[in-house]
Chains A and B, each alone.
Chain A
Amino acid sequence: MKVGLFIPCYINQLYPQVAIASLELLEKLGVDVYYPQGQTCCGQPLGNSGYEDDSKGICQLFVEHFKTFDYIVGPSGSCIYHVKHHFDILEQTPEVQKVRNNAYELCEFIVKILGKTDLGASFPYKVGLHKSCHGLRGLKLGSCSEVQGEHYSTEEDLLNKVSGLQLMSLNRKDECCGFGGTFAVFEEAISSKMGKDRVQDHLDSEVEVLTGADHSCLMHLEGIVNRNKQPLKVMHIAEILNSTL
Chain B
Amino acid sequence: MSHATKATAFNKDEAKVNWHDKALWYVREKRDKSAHKVQGWEHLRQLGSSIKANVLSNLDDYLIQFEANAKKNGIHVHWASNAEEHNTIVNAILEKHNAKKVVKSKSMLTEECHLNPFLEAKGIEVIDTDLGERIVQLAEEPPSHIVLPAIHKTKEEVDVLFQKHLGTKPSQRNPEYLVSEARKHLRDKFIKADVAITGVNFAVADTGGVIVCTNEGNADMGVHLAKAHIACMGIEKIIPQEKHLGVFLRLLARSATGQPITTYSSHFNKPENGKEMHIVIVDNGRTEQLSRPDFRASLHCIRCGACMNTCPIYRRSGGHSYDYTIPGPIGSIFSPGKDLKKLAKNHLAM
Q: Does B21 contact A187, Cβ atoms closer than 8 Å?
A: no
Q: Which residues of B are found within 8 Å of A145, using beta-carbon distances?
A: 32
Q: Does A193 contact B17, Cβ atoms closer than 8 Å?
A: yes
Q: A178's contact among B25, B35, B312, by CB below 8 Å, is which?
A: B312
Q: Does A189 contact B313, Cβ atoms closer than 8 Å?
A: no
Instruction: Say yes or no for A194: interface residue by CB 8 A criterion.
Output: yes
Minimal beta-carbon separation of A194 from chain B (angstroms): 5
Q: A186's contact among B4, B21, B25, B42, by CB below 8 Å, is which?
A: B4
Instruction: Say yes or no for B245: interface residue by CB 8 A criterion.
Output: no
A187 in contact with B3 given A145-B32, A148-B42, A197-B21 (CB within 8 Å) = yes
Q: In A160-215, which residues have CB < 8 Å from any B CB? A: 172, 175-176, 178, 186-190, 193-194, 197
A168 to B68, CA, bound (A): 61
Q: B25's contact among A149, A172, A176, A194, by CB below 8 Å, is which?
A: A172
Minimal beta-carbon separation of B160 from chain A (angstroms): 26
Q: Does A148 contact B41, Cβ atoms closer than 8 Å?
A: yes
Q: B8's contact among A149, A172, A175, A189, by CB below 8 Å, is which?
A: A189
Q: Which residue of A lies closest to B10 (CB)?
A: A189
A187 in contact with B313 given A145-B32, A148-B36, A193-B11 (CB within 8 Å) = yes
Binary contact track B30-44/A, C-beta < 8 Å → 1, others 0: 011001101001100
A175 to B310, CA, bound (A): 9
A194 in contact with B42 given A187-B4, A189-B11 (CB within 8 Å) = no
Instruction: Say yes or no for B262: interface residue by CB 8 A criterion.
Output: no
Q: Which residue of B lies closest to A171 (CB)?
A: B25
Q: Does B312 contact A186, Cβ atoms closer than 8 Å?
A: no
Instruction: Say yes or no for B350: interface residue by CB 8 A criterion.
Output: yes
Q: Does B7 contact A189, Cβ atoms closer than 8 Å?
A: yes
A33 to B34, CA, bound (A): 48
A146 to B34, CA, bound (A): 11
Q: Which residue of B lies closest to A191 (CB)?
A: B313
Q: Which residue of A lies closest to B6 (CB)?
A: A189
A186 in contact with B313 given A149-B42, A172-B25 (CB within 8 Å) = no
Minimal beta-carbon separation of B169 from chain A (angstroms): 37
Instruction: Say yes or no for A147: interface residue by CB 8 A criterion.
Output: yes
Interface SS of chain A: helix, strand, loop or mixed? loop
Q: Which residues of B are found within 8 Å of A194, using beta-carbon distances?
A: 312-313, 316
Minimal beta-carbon separation of B187 from chain A (angstroms): 39
A189 to B321, CA, bound (A): 12
A19 to B21, CA, bound (A): 36
The residue in B14, B313, B317 that gathers the most chain A C-beta atoms within 10 A of its C-beta is: B313
A151 to B103, CA, bound (A): 48
Binary contact track B69-108/A, C-beta < 8 Å → 1, others 0: 0000000000000000000000000000000000000000
The residue in A145, A147, A188, A193 that gathers the most chain B C-beta atoms within 10 A of its C-beta is: A193
Q: Which residues of A are found within 8 Å of B4, using beta-carbon distances?
A: 186-190
Binary contact track A84-118/B, C-beta < 8 Å → 1, others 0: 00000000000000000000000000000000000
Q: Which residue of A lies closest to B11 (CB)?
A: A189
A123 to B70, CA, bound (A): 69
Q: Does B8 contact A188, Cβ atoms closer than 8 Å?
A: yes
Minimal beta-carbon separation of A220 from chain B (angstroms): 13
Minimal beta-carbon separation of B308 from chain A (angstroms): 13
Q: Does B312 contact A176, Cβ atoms closer than 8 Å?
A: yes
A190 in contact with B21 given A146-B32, A148-B41, A149-B42 (CB within 8 Å) = no
Q: Which residues of A are found within 8 Å of B17, using beta-carbon distances?
A: 193
Other A-B contacts than A146-B32, A193-B316, 13 sampled, CB-CB below 8 A, are A145-B32, A147-B42, A149-B42, A172-B25, A176-B312, A187-B4, A187-B313, A188-B4, A190-B4, A190-B317, A193-B17, A197-B21, A197-B316
Kindly list the 5 A-B residue pairs having the minimum CB-CB distance in the complex, ordered from nearest. Answer: A189-B8, A189-B11, A148-B41, A187-B4, A148-B36
- Residues of A that sit less than 8 Å from B by CB: 145-149, 172, 175-176, 178, 186-190, 193-194, 197
Q: List 11 A-B contacts (CB under 8 A).
A: A146-B32, A147-B42, A148-B36, A172-B25, A187-B3, A190-B4, A190-B7, A193-B11, A193-B14, A194-B313, A194-B316
